[in-house]
A = this chain, B = another copy of it.
């Protein structure tokens, strides 16, 4: 079944900025059909600092279990990514496959096993033929490069139902030498808490310490954990941030101004990559931002925003450009969060629907309906209870989503 290119696919691709100390190679090992590339090796010249955020699923894939067991060392020398098979729920056999791959990489690259990260995406519960991967390791090592086309090829190789490759780059404003490059994948089984998405972020900025790790998780919560395609949480996925090691002291983040600037571009990049995932949501025809303000606290605001964003009734209404705002009220109500109907205000874009519980819907009917025909929609909810707020991004639910998912396997 051919999948249509998302209407939100970027028109032109920004090239990765030059970032030394890191190389990449791609190969076809046979996990994907049609000779498509399905294997990526990323190699660091020196062991580099790594932070990772992983799925909270209780049926995690073998790569998740492995990576979590080594993440506390905070050092990475290589990352191997495959698509076509997620290596989830394969029991002892799945564990052995992963270990054989890690051992072979460790031997051939002469790096510690504790510095080798694995990421897999694809079908769950099918045995991973590790020999297919192992056979390609010498080829991958021999072909390591650091050019744009190989990086873009890597972003392509990690796709499953994605309709386009997702890459983004940012450069520091205060120090033009500092750059961040990132690639990601994901288009279904997307909900917060690290659903089917892989994100790999590399920077030449040199830093260490708890403040950076904390900030990384804070940004994960504001970006990758604020998107939802279908409310389904995957077993496999992760976002990694790597400070690629180098000795250039100009790249050290050694004052608070530099730090602030770095965090800013990191946030921009993480936001961009995570929004790319929603925009490539399976069958998506609309990109929707939901903002909730005035909740009891940030957690309740996010719960409400996600309840709206995950509601099939809301998502199908959006697909039909239908101004059935009652479904938003329903989705707010089903969270059991603290609300008072007469304090709720609601806007579609700038168009008022409710002001302190009073309806302006009839008055603004035609402009609202015109607005909903757009491909990018904003839903603004104000609860008037306290100061809690959240913003999430989602897409609509179309017949295309059903098509894609009723025969993904075949």
Contact = CB atoms under 8 A, between A and B. Distances in A.
A58 B125 contact: no
B86 A320 contact: no
The residue among A326, A337, A339, A358 with the most chain B CB atoms within 10 A of its own CB is A326
A332 to B, nearest CB: 6
Contacts of A339: 58-59
Interface residues of A, number: 68
Determine how many copies of this chain the complex contains.
Answer: 2
A399 interface: yes
A215 to B, nearest CB: 26
Contact of A408 (B322, B329, B332, B333): B322
A358 B409 CA distance: 20
Given A313-B188, A333-B57, A399-B399, A326 B125 contact: yes
A331 interface: yes
Given A332-B58, A401-B312, A410-B322, A357 B124 contact: no
A330 interface: yes
Interface string A214-255: 000000000000000011111100000000000000000000
A88 B359 CA distance: 12
Interface string A63-99: 0000000000000000000000010111100000000
A397 interface: yes
Interface of A: 56-60, 86, 88-91, 123-127, 188-189, 191, 193, 230-235, 310-313, 316-317, 319-320, 322-327, 329-339, 341-342, 357-359, 361, 397-399, 401-403, 405-410
10 contacts: A57-B334, A58-B333, A59-B330, A89-B326, A124-B329, A126-B326, A231-B231, A231-B311, A232-B313, A316-B402
